[in-house]
Amino acid sequence: MSKFKQNYDQIGGNGGGGMVKKVGLFAAIVAALFFLFNKGQEDATEDSGGLVTIEQSDSKNDSSNSNSNSNIDLSISDNYLPTSTTGEVIERLNYTLSYSEEHEQAEWVAYKLTKKSIQQPNVKRTGDFRPDPKVRKGSASPRDYYSTGYDRGHMVPAGDMNFDKRAMSETFYMSNMSPQIRNFNGGIWRELEETTRDWAYNNKELFIVSGPVLDDNIRERIGDNKVSVPDMYYKIILDVTEPEKKAIAFLMPNEVSYKSIGTYAVSIDEVEEVTGIDFFHQFLKDDFERELESTFDIGLWKFDHKKEAQRIKGWNKRK
């Protein structure tokens, strides 16, 4: 007797009707689970690193799934926040943003970056891209980016919040994403993010504001929500620790670059001119501090030329 025939007889193939019913019920359950799994996969998203994730509920990611590190707080007071041209300001545990419904992305994100946060053990990248439930009329969706050729580029880098699972997860709200050319996101923008972390480590505490330039030079709109594709991005870095206060800003085109980061250094005033946003308007009031907005000394900021070479030879050629 074949092995298959023996197994068939054991489950009721020769008159075991009760057992057959149980097998049939089991098969139906398996089929139902298979259907639900496939349906769930329709909501799966893939980040630029190839990680596939499922959109999850806000409550799951913000409460029951959090391992909050209460010793770290990267949020900043209102005195350090830029003006909001849209009036829709959203606060997260460790950062604040101003959302533009017209462009379906943040016009700016603001937070602190500290040596203490960088020194914490890193949590695993969550990759849980999902709509932001705090956006009044609904944020962009991961699907808006499907098959467009653009990365979902973080404005608050996940790497700046990898000291805590909840802090990391909150960087994957779509309100924190903007469409970036793949080898810009993984190239010079990545280098600038990593360099900024180096500066935070060396300077103990920095105030960071980043965002897209949402002006008339929008390249196109993508997805059902018509997400704007910016032509440029900015990052502003302010160090107010004594004895040497300093500031620097960067304006970078949304494209692959083989130039050094320093090529794109500008004053805060220049970013204000192209964005229409007033940065640090409550904090930088006296003559000396206003000078921080109007000028910059690139010699006060150390650049890693090995990292630049790595970007040019490797990151820029990522496929």
Q: Are 147 and 176 members of one domain?
A: yes
Q: Are 186 and 313 members of one domain?
A: yes
Q: Which domain holds residue 10?
A: 1-42
C-alpha–C-alpha distance, residues 138 and 41, integer Å? 22
Query: Total structural domains in the chain?
Result: 2
Q: Which pLDDT score, from 0 to 100, does residue 291 have? A: 81
- Read off the CATH number of the domain in which 297 is found: 3.40.570.10
Q: Are 24 and 173 members of one domain?
A: no
Q: Are 231 and 258 members of one domain?
A: yes
Asked if the structure places residue 311 within a domain, the reply is yes
Q: Are 155 and 303 members of one domain?
A: yes
Asked if the structure places residue 51 within a domain, the reply is no
Asked if the structure places residue 50 within a domain, the reply is no
Q: Are 26 and 175 members of one domain?
A: no
Which distant-in-sequence residues (6+ apart) come within 8 Å of 144 by Cβ?
A: 104, 174, 222, 223, 224, 225, 227
Asked if the structure places residue 171 within a domain, the reply is yes
Asked if the structure places residue 221 within a domain, the reply is yes
Query: Prior bond to 243 cis, omega within 30?
Result: yes
Q: Roughly how many angstroms between the first and final C-alpha of the chain, as a whole number?
A: 56
Q: Are 296 and 167 members of one domain?
A: yes
Query: What pTM was estimated for this model as a whole?
Result: 0.79
Q: Are 283 and 216 members of one domain?
A: yes
Asked if the structure places residue 264 within a domain, the reply is yes
CB 102 within 8 A of CB 145: no
Q: Which pLDDT score, from 0 to 100, does residue 4 have? A: 36
Q: Are 16 and 125 members of one domain?
A: no
Which distant-in-sequence residues (6+ apart) come within 8 Å of 126 by Cβ?
A: 53, 61, 158, 165, 168, 169, 172
Spell out the per-residue pLDDT of the chain, length 319, in tens: 444 334 434 434 444 444 444 445 545 554 444 444 443 433 333 343 333 232 333 433 443 344 556 588 898 888 889 999 999 999 999 999 999 999 999 999 999 999 999 999 999 999 999 999 999 999 999 999 999 999 999 999 999 999 999 999 999 999 999 999 999 999 999 999 999 999 999 999 999 999 999 998 899 999 999 999 999 999 999 998 877 889 999 999 999 999 999 999 999 999 999 999 999 877 766 666 678 888 899 999 999 999 999 999 999 988 7
Q: Are 248 and 155 members of one domain?
A: yes
Bridge partners of 173, per DSSP, are: 130
Q: Are 136 and 162 members of one domain?
A: yes
Separation in Å, CA 284 to CA 12, 55, 199, 238: 82, 41, 21, 11
Q: Are 7 and 111 members of one domain?
A: no
